[in-house]
Structure 1
């Protein structure tokens, strides 16, 4: 009987890293140096080292990003067409474009993995363990998640006159430790069957798994603050979780 790792190694998976040139929140962030290395390189290296991604392709409209990606070991067989390089372009269309490109050349993959370059702390082990969980569950799709920073029952909303009311109806006598565990999407990885994407036009299927990642590896870089926090974690890995305010 094949071991879970042997089963993972036999799969074919297309890893797609989308990286547009334009970024309003943090200009040039995809190739901005994070602790001395271009941001996008972290995702490329994690995918290559995971051992379960058949091809790692960067989908970009920017030649500078393409150059950095190729140096890091990714394939960049095309520059993304203009209609897929706008603020309104959807991830699903970018994924389908990449899959179609390879299938037209006779390269077929059983699974598709979306890796956002803005999640540099996601590791090769995360990718491999997520794939293992995905295959063992026989799910249609998988998304990475992290423990929610704020429980929905603790959220409040203000009316126009400053009145504070619960966002969700709750038993007010509940203690924090009695609240059920909830998770939030961290954007680090999305894994799906090829047929779910190409035939059903979906990234998330009816049978969807959640791969849990800790908060310290779940940073999604959108602002300079996010970038600086990720850099702090990379520079001082032994001090994770010891930040005091």
Structure 2
């Protein structure tokens, strides 16, 4: 039986790191367009919608043929709004789906293969949750806090391993794809728990735009990708 899947692109108007970043031109098109276009290629997504409070973002999304069935309430578009709240609101506004997929527009390097790979893993394993991860640039085994001026290892070890290849493999959330059964997320109100499957993505498709430097790096990568 085919699963019905609602995909949500959350894109509020406010942004401190890169002002108006969701509609800022990135390698020839608005940032949000990169996510819309890849999501529309998915063989699993039943319905793709945008969640925003911003009229200009709505206009841009519609130009790229993305449905905007509602305007997000302002109290769900603040700096301190938990990321899960707009997802729960969207599910409430668009009920009747088996799975929900969260696609943040700040991951423009993510491809439809990543989106469908994460969805497929969730369905294949009958998982309540599946999220995309990647290997971190720096191992947490080489990370420290400082207490009274002295280094304090974040992860306690009997002996510091000097060679990166000898360290245990670790992974971090990359923010690109979040998948959940609707029934499960309405109950847990989180994509991350002990029941979450990991979908591993390559580092070169895992950048999350938070600063102007991130934006410039992504633009360079996308231009090279287009040329090749």
Same fold (TM over 0.5): yes
| TM-score (structure 1 length as normaliser) | 0.87
Summarize the Cα distance change of 1:239–1:72 in structure 2 as closer, same or farther, 3 Å threshold.
closer
State the SS of the aligned residue for 1:89. coil
Deviations 1:40-94 (A, max 9, x none): 0111111110121111111000000001111111111111111111112122211
Deviations 1:90-125 (A, max 9, x none): 22211111111122xxxx110000010000011011
1:77 corresponding residue in structure 2: 69
Separation in 2, partners of 1:52, 1:115 = 14
1:225 corresponding residue in structure 2: 213
Find 1:196's aligned residue among 184, 195, 202.
184
Pairwise mapping of residues 71-150 of structure 1 onto structure 2 (< 5 A)?
A: 71-103=63-95, 108-150=96-138
- CA contact 1:144–1:211 (8 Å) conserved in 2: yes
2:151 corresponding residue in structure 1: 164
Summarize the Cα distance change of 1:173–1:231 in structure 2 as closer, same or farther, 3 Å threshold.
closer
Summarize the Cα distance change of 1:129–1:173 in structure 2 as closer, same or farther, 3 Å threshold.
closer
- Stretches of structure 1 that go unaligned for 5 or more consecutive residues are 1-6, 241-245
- CA contact 2:161–2:167 (8 Å) conserved in 1: no
Find 1:154's aligned residue among 124, 142, 157.
142
| TM-score (structure 2 length as normaliser) | 0.93
- Stretches of structure 2 that go unaligned for 5 or more consecutive residues are none
Summarize the Cα distance change of 1:176–1:26 in structure 2 as closer, same or farther, 3 Å threshold.
same
Find 1:19's aligned residue among 2, 6, 11.
11
1:53 corresponding residue in structure 2: 45
State the SS of the aligned residue for 1:49. coil
Separation in 2, partners of 1:98, 1:180 = 39
Separation in 1, partners of 2:6, 2:201 = 22
State the SS of the aligned residue for 1:77. coil
Separation in 2, partners of 1:167, 1:188 = 26
Deviation, 1:239, is 10
Aligned length: 227
Separation in 1, partners of 2:93, 2:42 = 23
State the SS of the aligned residue for 1:143. strand
Q: Which runs of 4+ in 1 moved over 3 A?
A: none
CA RMSD, Structure 1 to Structure 2 (Å): 1.8
State the SS of the aligned residue for 2:94. helix
Separation in 1, partners of 2:106, 2:99 = 22
1:177 corresponding residue in structure 2: 165
Separation in 2, partners of 1:94, 1:153 = 34
